[in-house]
Structure 1
Amino acid sequence: MTNLQNNDQPRVLCVGAILWDVIGRTERHMRVGSDVPGRILRIPGGVAMNIAMTFTRFSLTPVLLGAIGRDDGGEELMRAAGSMGMVTDHLYRSDDLPTDVYMAIEGGNGLIAAIADAHSLEAAGAKILRPMEDGTLGSAGTPYNGTVALDGNLTLALLEEISHSPLFSKADLRIAPASPGKAERLLPLMNHPGATFYVNLEEAGLLLKRDFDNASDAALALTDRGAARAMVSDGGRPAGFAADGEVISQAPPEVMVTRVTGAGDTFMAAHIAAELRGEGAEAALTTALKAAANYVSGNSPQ
């Protein structure tokens, strides 16, 4: 279902948060009030951007749809995206809205705390989707029929609009929450006929208002609820993928975890890329788990 560029590299739309990640990392275990030495990084981030960066490593061409300010941070982010081979022509650029930022603290015991400031993306609203309706990437009469990676940083109102919009009616829609706190925003998309949900075990529980013992049960429950397909990850425990009433499960490789921010986005993007290459369900899940393991172990690019 993927559109092709002149060079025949598959194009995929990445819709959502494109921002700067400011991440403090330390090998030490932390608690509330900890003050420890470590490293502070500033790197391109946001769910849509993280997915796009992984796509480029799989020879896919990401087309970014989101909001980036015309401030210094925005100009730098545009240059960074362009240098990685992403299509930035269709981004909504605002003179009034600053470029969004995500800040996180990671310790040896995992993610300690994070704050996502995606206010500019939320304020831009449906303006980020104009290229999908003005004929640039599609229209209501001829909707985009390729793969769309959509993240839950969009407002609930916009996600509800997307759920029944003709602009997305033909899309191979791949959906991820931005965080457990935003998982319930995705409920309106549950019955989209082309939707694949990518969530972790906690997010699956929040969506369905129940607890699950394992990822396979959660994935099946999501498809029973209406999702066409569902992928559920569970950290170092087996992930589950459900479609057409069947479920497969695989355990991720055991690695030393050195970072966590962006791991789920890497997992999702690698799975999409594998499927677009024609890999079957088992092989695609293996590819995704390996990519995520390489990422959290620090053996792939930031």
Structure 2
Amino acid sequence: MLAPVRLRGQRQDMTGNTEILCIGSVLWDVIGRPASVMRQGSDVPGRITRLPGGVAMNIAMATARFGLRPALLTAIGRDAEGDELIRACADLGMDVSHVYRSEDLPTDRYMAVEGANGLIAAIADAHSLEAAGDKILRPLVNGTLGTDVSPYQGLIALDGNLTRQLLENISVSPEFGMADLRVAPASPGKAERLMPFLNHHRAMLYVNLEEAGLLCQNTFSDAAIASETLIKRGARRVVVTDGGRSAAEADETGVITGTPPEVLVTRVTGAGDTFMAAHIAAETRGADRQEALSQALTAAARYVSGDNAL
């Protein structure tokens, strides 16, 4: 059995300041939420908020709430919005010392509308992150966090907002060859970018049922079948979620399942990132597979209900 890397009590970077690297999108989330059900063309009163977001940022924020110390590898512009975002990240407990600050690329943004019936529409503008490319990974090659001969050996949360080519390069890069690599697509539209990690010897995939189907070029009726199929296709370890229905975690030894608590859904953006962060944190505390899955499902349910208590 290829067991997950246990990092409880360890500090894995060269400076001893972090327990998990979060690589990917860090941007401003602009979210509109009414209290009513919405459909195409709806024009209703509600609230519009702007908060630090992005998959990597959401995972970093959640892991910080769970007691880990996250560092960000991302691209943030040197514009006013970027300066404000850097300050907000630092105030939330992120290590921002390794962030690539671009002189000519604007800070990225994500915009979504969520009705009482769930996500209505969303647009992710992560073009600056894509344009920055492998510049965001320099600390992993220049000796700050690791090199190709002495690679980083800790936890890495990687999101699919990076370009397909960069993700392919990461999947075979020696700089990632010793890490406990946890990978999630940014959205179903980017799920197929994770194909190179289906056969990665140290990667664990976190996907929802739709994303699992896209990776397998199939459709699935439940998470257990989807997770088992991903393992058969070469994945080392996977978690498949399905909203309020049962989730599954699988490796070569078999499949386990768990069902989230029933809650009133008040928000959905960031729920999958919270699940992933809670699962990682549970394993660093020594939880077994079933305990980690259960704790992650409970944390995600609390998040979508609007309860941030951990």
Scaled to the shorter chain, the TM-score interval is over 0.9
Residue of structure 2 in register with 1:38 after alignment: 46
Residue of structure 2 in register with 1:222 after alignment: 230
- Unaligned 5+ segments in structure 2 are none
1:245 CA displacement:
3.2
Contact (CA 8 Å) 2:11, 2:154: kept in 1 or not?
no
Residue of structure 2 in register with 1:101 after alignment: 109
Mapped partners of 2:30, 2:174: distance in 1: 37
Contact (CA 8 Å) 1:9, 1:60: kept in 2 or not?
no
Mapping for residues 131-142 of structure 1, pairs under 5 Å: 131-142=139-150
Contact (CA 8 Å) 1:173, 1:194: kept in 2 or not?
yes
Deviations along 1:233-279, one digit per CA (max 9) or x if unpaired, are 00010000001231110110000000000000000010000001110
Mapped partners of 2:180, 2:228: distance in 1: 20
Contact (CA 8 Å) 1:144, 1:170: kept in 2 or not?
yes
| 1:4 counterpart = 2:11 | yes
1:116 CA displacement:
0.1
Residue of structure 2 in register with 1:118 after alignment: 126
Mapped partners of 2:280, 2:232: distance in 1: 22
1:32 CA displacement:
1.1
Quick one: structure 1 residues 286 and 8, their matched pair in 2 at CA, closer, same or farther if it must change by over 3 Å? farther
1:79 CA displacement:
0.6
Contact (CA 8 Å) 1:9, 1:59: kept in 2 or not?
no
User: Identical aligned pairs, as a percentage?
Assistant: 63
- Unaligned 5+ segments in structure 1 are none
Residue of structure 2 in register with 1:146 after alignment: 154
Q: Find the partner of 1:198 among 194, 201, 206.
A: 206
Residue of structure 2 in register with 1:73 after alignment: 81
Q: CA RMSD in A?
A: 1.5
Mapped partners of 1:262, 1:116: distance in 2: 13
Quick one: structure 1 residues 37 and 51, their matched pair in 2 at CA, closer, same or farther if it must change by over 3 Å? same
* SS of residue paired to 2:149: coil
The AA in structure 2 aligned to 1:134 is N
1:8 CA displacement:
7.7
Quick one: structure 1 residues 5 and 222, their matched pair in 2 at CA, closer, same or farther if it must change by over 3 Å? closer
Mapped partners of 1:62, 1:273: distance in 2: 11
Q: Number of aligned pairs? A: 301
Q: Find the partner of 2:268 among 250, 253, 260.
A: 260
Residue of structure 2 in register with 1:158 after alignment: 166
